[in-house]
Structure 1
């Protein structure tokens, strides 16, 4: 495979995980003969492009790598991926690989983010129950100063909402309490964390820890809380499209990502690697972890009737929310 990958000499990655740039550089150093091209776009456009190219029998990207776990599983289920049994498959935890096609590369906690000046340390919510109680007893702290991803416009947010509803008995009362604070409903993590950092927002619900930590490292006003009752863990899922133009280069890159070397490179970025046998410069996993597994259960999130029911109830809970602009560059 290695000599075939060298002969192909190119690797085209379609992704919404630009945080991984240094990992790509590590691969380039190991395999300089392979030119790597990365297209960074959102998960909806990724799915559209994968389907369009395959359906018109054109060469596709070589690796598709996205945080939208359910969308990735849907593409695999619909026949847009090819199987590849990586030699690192045996080291992968349960629930991180599906049909030797979809590979979860990370195990990233979903946390609360807050502004330390607006939320004193002695009242910071340490669990979902704490948050619900605080929203109901101290609403003046949160009024117009809560931000969360817009589940109607973000597939990742809808996936997390679905998981919250299945895990937490008071998920809907919590959504209603968040919605009563006239929250800002956003699609841009960069904008959300920027507003936590500058104090326009006091609290952000369901933020990816690795992304939040990258902000907290340069903005000491930001605090992160891993809820101690439970916290979701999500993965960046990769697969090789059935029409990959350079499939051997894709297999080589996927093997690198799943190897100890690649997993350490992921961990060095502050992103928790999926493998349990890798020493990474990160804190141990917090208790209460509830991984969202890579597999067919995620397809339920894309069932149109279930999706409509979830979004209708969420929309009612958020009826007083304010939608941020669709353009992530807008204020």
Structure 2
């Protein structure tokens, strides 16, 4: 019944697995369909053909599965590319309805939707296709969750069913109680079979019980026979000894007496050996039935036994050798009883010495064999045993060589040891023409486990775990970091990492954000660094979304806020709100704005004073500037109004915060907008002419992100550096540099950090995820930049 329930459960499980897959696909297919429809609605005729204004909502819909990488493409049915990826796989067949399908893209399994619509162009009607896809991780997890939940219910129902079956069978098998009573009342010497007519359902049980009784009767008969054999062998040996001594006592001549005493001594030695062999045989049989097997290393056991035997004077004229191919620790471990194996080895060596010539050579070997086995072999240079008589040689009290005074128990003991250990016993011909006895034991640990145990280097595992190595492993290695972060801000962090990891050289190469993104897109895998750092969150998300990052399993990342980590591949380690830098002298009598609307009003009201004296990022060259500007636009149309006001005031563009801070302190600028807050606070702390202002409606917050690239030469060092950045010491060093830590570091807050604490309610973190890809679409980016430049272009008054 249990097997029947298991088979039924297996069949239902297969059906449940298919149902769970369908349900998971249906759930996440809605996201794909919603995103595709959102994009399709924004497709419109353009001056040169179809065009699309990629909606931010499309990427936000896909971000509802926050761990998935996303791809999209818009093209005409005849193959003309509009935007997005141009090489996305198409559906298996054309259809007028949304088509969902699975396909590999860039070596990763994806789920796609393809949706089409008719577009009226000046040259005629054209069908436009939108394809959107994301990876399958979330839906696979949901499928497994649904399957396990359903399977738990089925298992509970099966357990209840089996309970009822158990009660029914228990009632049906009540006749067994009568048999139990009969067996309890029996005399120990009564080994007769159970004579009864059992129910059909338990007939096999009766047969098993009677079969066991038969085996027990046979075993007792064997024991009685063995005792009789022992008594006979001992009586015969002692009688022969007594006869020799009697003849020696009756001898009248000294020479005759000496000869009789010599024969009596030889007989006494045979009697002693027979007695020892009988005791050894009994001990081995007893231990095979009662002794538990434990892991035993054969190589040291063999060496100890050989060392003990070499102290015997009879071994002085014997050449004893030992050869093995055991190199790894644990390669010779078997589950065995060490005492029994030593006894078998001692008997094999004594047999080899006894049956060999005077110049005998006994070779002991220990070698690994195929099939996860290890062979213990003993070879001699004696006459050997003919192949046809080898089965007879392992029987008790069988001695094939009468002139060696053997007891016939040596190989019988070895066979008993082999049987009790699940080993193979082989009798072969040695290289010297004598006998070679081989005991082949199964190893306690398979070869695969031994190789893993001996492995000196654990590779990076993308599914979950990461080997960081030891200090000794790191000696002489170089960690390469590419970053869009000022070298002075990184210097303290790199020094702290080097202090904790002596022997590792660190090379840091500084880039601008856009240049770093372009380099990584074009670089070959072996040209990538071990770690990448950049504040341009959208560009970093784009790189990770393209599959250029390794997944990390770092305990230090567990405390990160959800907005600062994506797919366990991209991790943030700083907290950097956007800020406004202003010249204190210029704004001594002018109240600072509280909202973005008031900021636009302030610039318009003081346009004459601020003309050509407002600074902002060059959005084409600065990734962080582009990120702040696009995220401002996501918050509402106020960003477009602010851009127009800045254009009328003749805004000037710069590459970085440090240049804008210097220009504001010198009076060339009076205001700089959307600068990196920590850099601004650091500049204001060093220069009293500068002030830093945060708005009350919202302040965008970005985090400086980092990842380990696919193909890095030392990914374990890159992961170790990222773990250091997120550690308590690393975050403390971040707090002591120009940056701000993303995790709280008690006791290290400076005055600027304390000021930021007062603005907590106004901070609006930018979330890592597919939503940041919206404005990286080629058409969307170009239109946004053209719109920004059109709004901010300065036309001097006549």
Matched-pair contact (CA < 8 Å) for 2:550–2:708:
yes
Change in Cα spacing, 1:168 to 1:277, as seen in structure 2 (3 Å) is farther
- Aligned match of 2:769: 295
Q: State the 1:179 CA deviation.
A: 1.2
Q: State the 1:48 CA deviation.
A: 2.9
SS in 2 for 1:134: helix
Q: State the 1:270 CA deviation.
A: 4.4
Give the structure, 1 or 2, with the largest relative contact order (CA under 8 Å, sep 6 or more).
1
1:42 aligns with 2:512: yes
Task: Return the TM-score normalized by structure 2.
Answer: 0.39
- In structure 2, runs of 5+ residues without a counterpart are 1-467
SS in 1 for 2:470: helix
Matched-pair contact (CA < 8 Å) for 1:263–1:274:
yes
- Decide which of 34, 47, 52 is 2:522's aligned counterpart: 52
Task: Give runs of aligned pairs for residues 133-144 of structure 1, distance below 5 A.
Answer: 133-144=601-612
1:273 aligns with 2:741: yes
- Aligned match of 1:263: 731
Q: Distance in 2 between matches of 1:177 and 1:122?
A: 18
Q: Distance in 1 between matches of 2:768 and 2:502?
A: 32
Q: Distance in 2 between matches of 1:68 and 1:41?
A: 12
**After TM superposition, where is structure 1 displaced by more than 4 Å over at least 4 residues in a row?**
276-279
SS in 2 for 1:14: strand
Q: Which has the larger radius of gyration?
A: 2
Task: Give runs of aligned pairs for residues 68-107 of structure 1, distance below 5 A.
Answer: 68-107=536-575
- Decide which of 19, 23, 29 is 2:499's aligned counterpart: 29
Matched-pair contact (CA < 8 Å) for 2:512–2:622:
no
- Decide which of 97, 111, 119 is 2:579's aligned counterpart: 111
- Decide which of 164, 184, 194 is 2:632's aligned counterpart: 164
Q: Distance in 2 between matches of 1:11 and 1:275?
A: 25
Q: State the 1:278 CA deviation.
A: 5.5
SS in 2 for 1:58: helix
Change in Cα spacing, 1:264 to 1:121, as seen in structure 2 (3 Å) is farther
Q: Distance in 1 between matches of 2:502 and 2:514?
A: 31
Higher helix residue share: 2
Matched-pair contact (CA < 8 Å) for 1:88–1:259:
yes
Matched-pair contact (CA < 8 Å) for 1:82–1:240:
yes
Q: Distance in 2 between matches of 1:150 and 1:120?
A: 28
Q: Distance in 2 between matches of 1:321 and 1:61?
A: 45
Matched-pair contact (CA < 8 Å) for 1:184–1:321:
no
TM-superposition CA deviations, 1:166-201 (whole Å, max 9, x none): 114411111111111112122233221111010111
Q: Distance in 2 between matches of 1:195 and 1:301?
A: 30
- Aligned match of 2:779: 305
Q: Distance in 2 between matches of 1:121 and 1:209?
A: 24
Change in Cα spacing, 1:191 to 1:111, as seen in structure 2 (3 Å) is same
Matched-pair contact (CA < 8 Å) for 2:484–2:510:
yes
Q: Distance in 2 between matches of 1:47 and 1:279?
A: 36
Change in Cα spacing, 1:215 to 1:166, as seen in structure 2 (3 Å) is same
- Decide which of 454, 474, 480 is 1:6's aligned counterpart: 474
- In structure 1, runs of 5+ residues without a counterpart are 323-331
TM-superposition CA deviations, 1:223-268 (whole Å, max 9, x none): 0001111000011110000111111111111100011211111112
Task: Give runs of aligned pairs for residues 132-281 of structure 1, distance below 5 A.
Answer: 132-276=600-744, 280-281=748-749
1:319 aligns with 2:787: no
CA root-mean-square deviation: 1.9
1:131 aligns with 2:131: no
Q: State the 1:277 CA deviation.
A: 6.5
Q: Distance in 1 between matches of 2:746 and 2:763?
A: 18
TM-superposition CA deviations, 1:79-129 (whole Å, max 9, x none): 111111211121110111111110011110100000011122542223212
Q: Distance in 1 between matches of 2:747 and 2:593?
A: 30
- Aligned match of 2:53: none
Task: Return the TM-score normalized by structure 1.
Answer: 0.91
Q: State the 1:59 CA deviation.
A: 4.3
SS in 1 for 2:522: helix
Deviates more, 1:81-90 or 1:185-194: 185-194
Q: Distance in 1 between matches of 2:589 and 2:600?
A: 17
Q: Distance in 2 between matches of 1:278 and 1:82?
A: 32
Q: Distance in 2 between matches of 1:98 and 1:68?
A: 14
SS in 2 for 1:110: strand
Q: Distance in 2 between matches of 1:36 and 1:270?
A: 20
Q: Distance in 1 between matches of 2:695 and 2:748?
A: 22
TM-superposition CA deviations, 1:259-296 (whole Å, max 9, x none): 12111111122422112465541222612111111221
Q: Distance in 2 between matches of 1:76 and 1:280?
A: 33
